Amino acid sequence: MTEGFEVDAQDALGRVAELAVPRADATVTTPALMPVVNPNRETIDPARLPAFGAEIVITNAYIIHSTDQLRDRALADGVHDLLGVDTVIVTDSGSFQLAEYGDIDVTTEEILAFQDAIGADVGTPVDVPTPPDADRERVEADLATTRDRLETAAAVDTGDMLVNAPVQGGTFPALREAAARHAAGLALDVYPVGAAVPLLNAYRYADVVDVVLAAKRGLGPGVPVHLFGAGHPMMFALAAAMGCDLFDSAAYALYARDDRYLTVRGTEHLEDLRTFPCACPVCTDHDPATVRDLEDADRERLLAEHNLHVSFAELRRVRQAIHHGDLLELVETRARGHPALLEGYRRLLAATDQLEAADPASKATFFYVSPESAARPEVTRHHRRLENYALEGEVLLTEGGAEDDYGTCWSVTPPFGPHPPALNRTYPLTAETPDPVGRAGQEAAARGVARLVEANASASFTLAHDGWPATALEIVPDSVALVDLSTPREAPDR
Ligand SMILES: [Zn+2]
């Protein structure tokens, strides 16, 4: 549990929280986006970043440390003065350079002391990022080194600077979970999930979900988690829903340098844009043709500004969705923008127990917007609760009206399935569903029927369904009598 990390609102595994940063005498609202400031190359003046919504930025202490001029200035005046920004500053340690170039020339003690000396608000030890798909032997060897470095970091006196405890473990969920449990035991402060960049760059979002959920299981719910490298706004909603609190964006500048324009639905190339699909100041004041004709530096700056605007707008949308309780609806919307995001969302939903344990029992109206909605934690929670009911005698489960011939009459609402009349007007059974709800919703409802029937062997059930497909009816136990409400019944005698 990190002291000074207070959760205000929760939805799925996502949360809006306040992270206290003692050295800055500030709190940062999470989910937070940290623009990456490259001390050697300024795309946007860091002093302007708060105007976009940045409360926290990240820079690389290793680059500062290994560049004489930067190091001397940072030691003399502090890193805030060096960058010209008064937000909270997180410093990375050079682990990324270690992964890229294989070797760096500082130890964890040195780099932490340096980060402390230049006034970083959050520092980072030199962990060892293991690339995805590395074999188990290598992952374990790298983890042993990271473990030592974290223990060293925990023992170093860094005053009131918060310290990151990166969680590695490659693409082995069990190793990630164990590494996270070890890190959480060291009483450090912020927990980055490391080496996700290659997975994110390759759009391997399902693997990212596996890795993050494994880390979350080891860390427990009470600590802030940073998904290193998650800078594309199209995946913020998914990343928040899996319980990540901090994201960093180098993307805003790197993409701009390449004439790439970020949107919440993916990336566009400036040359392909006929009009700017965005309401930010850059896009309302310019058109693509004008921007294409600008000098390189001006074009890069304007695109970077747009990229920041669209990123912070999505971040605010994610926060509002968590407050409102419709984060999963937002994730579903974003998942429609890219197949890899849809894979990631499905992988998240498959983690039923982990998701359900965190998800609030009551929130805003449940909107059924896609077949994936049938796998949401509200549905699995309702199914589990069905086992608690004790029913006797003749029971009608119906999508139609009540009938007097039965001792007990329950409604059936896809995707949840059966529920007692007393719950008709309670969350999530007040769900807005499309008509027809479709096969996935009917199959989920059938699973609910099966759970209830199996828990009540002595009762005798009739299911009156509205034209369910065979794939749903196959899930209903054979002992249940079926009535198809969509088939016209015999006309009554006149
Ligand atoms: Zn824009």
Q: CA–CA separation, 89 vs 85, rounded Å?
A: 9
For residue 420, the CA-to-ligand 1 centroid distance in Å is 49
State how beta strands 56-60 and 122-123 pair: unpaired
State the CATH class of domain 5-352: alpha beta
State the burial class of residue 83 (Cβ atoms within 10 Å of its Cβ: 0-12, 13-18, 19+).
Answer: buried
Q: CA–CA separation, 429 vs 386, rounded Å?
A: 13
Q: What is the mean pLDDT of residues 160-182?
A: 96
What is the chain's mean pLDDT, rounded? Answer: 94
Q: Report pLDDT for 489.
A: 64
E strand intervals along 22-85: 26-30, 32-37, 56-60
**Alpha-carbon 233 to chain mean position:** 11
- Checking phi first, is residue 119 left (phi over 0); if not, alpha (psi -120 to 50) or beta? left
Q: Report pLDDT for 94.
A: 80
Dihedral angle computed from the Cα positions of residues 151, 59, 113 and 26, in that order, rounded to the nearest 10 degrees: -90
Q: Report pLDDT for 101.
A: 76
Which tokens go with 276?
Answer: 């700017």
Per-residue pLDDT tens digits for 417-468: 999 999 989 999 999 999 889 999 999 999 999 999 999 999 999 999 999 9
Domain borders along the chain are 5-352, 376-484
For residue 307, the CA-to-ligand 1 centroid distance in Å is 7
Buried b / exposed e along 293-304 (16+ C-beta atoms within 10 A): eeeeeebbbbbb
For residue 321, the CA-to-ligand 1 centroid distance in Å is 21
Q: CA–CA separation, 247 vs 240, rounded Å?
A: 9
Q: What is the mean pLDDT of residues 103-109?
A: 84
Say if residue 493's pLDDT is above 90. Answer: no
Which residues belong to the active site?
Answer: 92
Q: Report pLDDT for 321.
A: 97
> Nearest Cα to 22, choosing from 85, 113, 88?
88
For residue 318, the CA-to-ligand 1 centroid distance in Å is 18
For residue 277, the CA-to-ligand 1 centroid distance in Å is 7
What's the count of helices (H) and strands (E) in the chain, helices before strands?
A: 21, 18
The three-state DSSP-derived secondary structure of 341-375 is HHHHHHHHHHCHHHHHHHCCCCCCCCECCCHHHHH
Q: Quote the pTM value.
A: 0.94
Q: CA–CA separation, 438 vs 405, rounded Å?
A: 30
For residue 256, the CA-to-ligand 1 centroid distance in Å is 12
Dihedral angle computed from the Cα positions of residues 424, 429, 435 and 437, in that order, rounded to the nearest 10 degrees: -130
Q: Report pLDDT for 491.
A: 55
State how beta strands 266-269 and 260-263 pair: antiparallel
Q: Report pLDDT for 1.
A: 58
DSSP string for 235-298: GHHHHHHTT--EEEESHHHHHHHTTEEEETTEEEEGGG-SS----SHHHHH--HHHHHTS-HHH
